[in-house]
Structure 1
Amino acid sequence: MMRKISFRTFGSRIFIIFLFSFIGISIILSFIYYQVTSKQLEDTISDAAMKNVKQASEHIDLLLQGYESLSKSIITNTDIQNLVGKHSNNSAVKAINDRTITNAIGAIYYAWEDVISIHVLSNDGAAYSYGALTQVVNPNYMTLDWYKQLQHSEGETVWFGMETDSLIDTSRKGEVFAFGRKLYNLTRTESVGVVIIEMRTNILQNILQNANITEYTETYLVEQGIIKGGRNSQLFQQVAVGLESATSVGKMKRVDDHFIVRYPQNINDWELVSLTESSIIKIEIVQFRQYFMIITLSLVILSMIFAILISVHVTSPFKKLRIYMRKVTLGNFEEIPIMNSYVELESLTGAYNQMVRKLDELFVQMREMTESERIAQIHALQSQINPHFLYNTLDMIYWTLDEGENEKLGEIVLALSSMFRYSSNWENHADVTLREELEQIKAYALITQMRFGEKLVFDWKIDPDVLDVCIPKMSLQPIVENAVIHGVGEGGGEIKIAAYLLDSVVHISITDHGKGMDQATLERLNALFTQAEVKIDSSENSLKVGIGLVNVHKRIVYRYGMKYGLSITSSGLNSGSIVIFTLPYQSTQHTMMRLE
């Protein structure tokens, strides 16, 4: 069964963050690369177009300079200058003059391979032509626009450009490149006619074709928006609208769906215009887009793999930490080995190990405290059913009966009953108020005083402010009993019990003026207390040190901390002893709330 994917896990979120980050970066970089590539492609086309157009323009200038030289060779020919427009009534002379003009034109014609025809037209209507064998000169040529342009010129070359058919020869069908000049008689300094020359267009077409940078490019010779050279004039007319204002000469600019380059011709007022369809960039971009999609898809796959690896690498230490944490819930307080991965995780692992150690210590302390409570109960019961204690108490009751002191007997029985009832009731908590504990001590003191009589004296100095302080049950009686038995002994003496508050710490002191103890014994007892803060051997016979003083100390330390507990002082043998019991100042209500 497939495991359900949770997007709330740390690993899933890292994976998603890295994945979307990588994809976002890839998209942004791809978009930037797309824009840069498009601009570079456009710049490349612009540079190529400008270079080709400039070279084509230079070649056309050279070609037109040659054509201009051709026209000059005609208008400067002496025979043509002198004989055209010269009238003679002698038919023979006239025939010789015509033949001379025709021969002069023929000589020039054969000197140029790409000349289709040369026509010299006099102002009086005479026409001298050389070219195809079947030429039919349009009789109405004087009414045509090209003729009028030549007549209005000042002797410079007039360029008509590429025409679909001959301007003057009605029998000539096909493209021609036409130009002409006005013819002068330099002797008479007057115009005698015009010269019209028609050339083949293959050379010019080749130049224009070579200017095309792609199959989607068309190049034209243009004069004021009118095509003078080039094909597909319909395309040019679609794009040429607003050509003058849309582009600058010598620069490429995009107009509608075409890139346009304009370059001026030096020999005349024409311009070389190159039109490149913008689809060429689209084609390149489509090819690039396919390549880009493959790269992007590869980057996405690599991003996913990389995100998975990062997610696994980052979350692996946390998974180990989670495994150890689950062990804690099962009671296995095993520390995590320090993982050399991340500073934060090492800090977290250290804190976790510290917590585990603390929990382990607390559990040990709880077990020991529970054991201490059990020992305290046993000792409390033992102290009440101790044969010696019972024998002395019963013996005292016997002598009291013998003396007829029934009132004192009742007090002894009530005190003994109170002690048994107090020491056997452990149902609610092991904590009582100091007031309740002192009532138990006073019952014990009453019984012991009845036994020892005036030899044993108890002195009570209790601050009323500390009577409601909560203390461990049966914690004072072992100390007082130890003072009676091992302190004053059978010889009797004074026992002072004081309770007071000092710096928010409750001090309870039990002082006896009995045997005291030497320095070695004092150090041994205090050493046992110090060891009890860490660990105490449960096999230690606490009766030897006064019915469980060490156990009392352990109970205080476990409940309130190492700042509190028991301490013993003595000035030496026969100087008495002082046992000081310290615990924090807490009211009964506050303590009970803490226990609950």
Structure 2
Amino acid sequence: MGRRFNSLHNRLFLLFLSCMMALLLIVSVLYYQRTTDIIHTKISDMAEKNISQTVGLFDLLLEGYDSITKALNGNYELLRLLEDHQSDTNPALRVVNDRTITNILGAIYYSRDDIVGIHVITNEGRTFNYERRFAGVLDANYSSSEWFEKLKNSTGEMVWLGIYPQSVINALQADPVFVFGRQLYDLTDHRSVGIVLIEASTKAINSAVSNVTISPNSQVYIVDKSNRIVTATTNKKLQSISFADLPRPTTNSIVVDNMSDQLIVAANATKADWTVYGLTPKIDINAEVVKTRDYLLYVILVFVMLSTILATIVSRNIASPVKLLIREMKQVEMGNFRGAVNVRSFEEINSLVSSFNRMVNRMDELIERITLASISEKNAELQALQSQVNPHFLYNTLDMIYWMLDERENDKLGRVILALSHMFRYSSDWQKASRTTLKQELDQMRHYMTIIENRLEGRVSTEIHVENRFLSIPLPKMTIQPIIENAVKSGLEPLDRPGVLRLYTEEKENELLIIIEDNGVGIEQENLTMLCKALENSGLKSEGSLDSKTDSSGMKRRGIGLPNVHRRIVLMFGDLYGLRVESKLGTGTTVTISVPLPPKGE
């Protein structure tokens, strides 16, 4: 029982759940104690911010309307046409001017989507209108109306006439409108030209008013300096309130009064002589406290349930991958590198599992590669010895030595015997290292070609072009000599013409290409295809299948075959490198050795 309690899963579950419950208890107590104290302040601040935002919206809205009338009053073309209209006697020109004035009003009309109508009335009584509908149907008695008197008595300032249940100039326009206007003046001589009256939709004002409400029973009013209600929310029973008894703010200040049975906030609009009042019953504020407490209890219950579920999931998601990882580590400890852990958990655990899998795979690959490299090196060592002690080669060499002795060519004999000595020494010395340099491989090639050129007496010549900076490039031992031997035996000896064996290097990005080509008899297509497949599949074949090589006649003989050379290059440098063979029957064969170039400075 104690061991089960000490398991990672149970410990994590209890630890997570205990922390969540302790945190929940502390937060709930502190929250409940503070809620009652701060909720009134919060609501007051919210009401103050709401009314401040509403007043700001009003100011922006009225400023936009003000800019429309200023744009009309500052339109030189409009003022010129209104003045010229009085002296125009040409009917056609009058029609053109009327249309131009209407177009100017239309441009202003369509600059905002809340304008219902624009009306310009000149001092001579001419009217120009642009309305949403019923355009040109005007009240004939507008000149005796209150709004007309206010505009005529103004001195160029903006006149906010307020909200009306319908259009003040077009009786057919029955929707509520917000009406404002100003006198139009000729800016050159400050002479009155007429008045402009604009009617706008009340949706923007009503939307701004609704922003002040903080509860369903909140009521908002906009009153002017005469305590006349400009607009209000739809609760009718509170509209009989006496605004003279309510506190009125001065300048740009905001009044917040919660001393009575309701919360009162008030603020002034700077663009118009209006005051915005917001009234919220205290019972609504207390109801918010009760709702908050009930909601808190509900949240606590749900949070306890979710914490239990979450603690179970988290502890299981952490413990299960760790258990799988421990089990697989025990398998690795026993020497089994073939397993893998597959889990879907937290990012850190997934990263740990992925690293473990890569480590195990890498260990398995390294062990296999080391084993294959060791076997390949041993086979190459034995095959090199067998290849160099090839009876046919020794017979020809001894026969050549015999005839040279007979002809007393002692210098040539010395060079041949010396070259043969170097070759045996190089090919049989595998104890120090199985890797060498390009320079040492070229030296071995020269010794071999010394024997071949003397034996064939001018039938074969060698050309070597290698830059000195490439001579220190590492190579597996016995890489070039087997390729040269194949080229001589299978390609150049059967020729009925002088043979040329060329070795040169090319640099390709970060890769060195050692190219060995001859002008021999070439390889038949079938044998070439078999050889290329053997090179491609050399990484999949067993060591025993890599010990033979095929000459141009299709016969196999013992030696270090090209697949063996290719395999040792792959084991040393990787799968991107190795041998490539190209041949054309009757033209010659090209073998390309691809090895990596070390980084600059190394």
> Which of the pair has more CA radius of gyration?
1
Structure-1-length-normalised TM-score: 0.49
Structure-2-length-normalised TM-score: 0.48
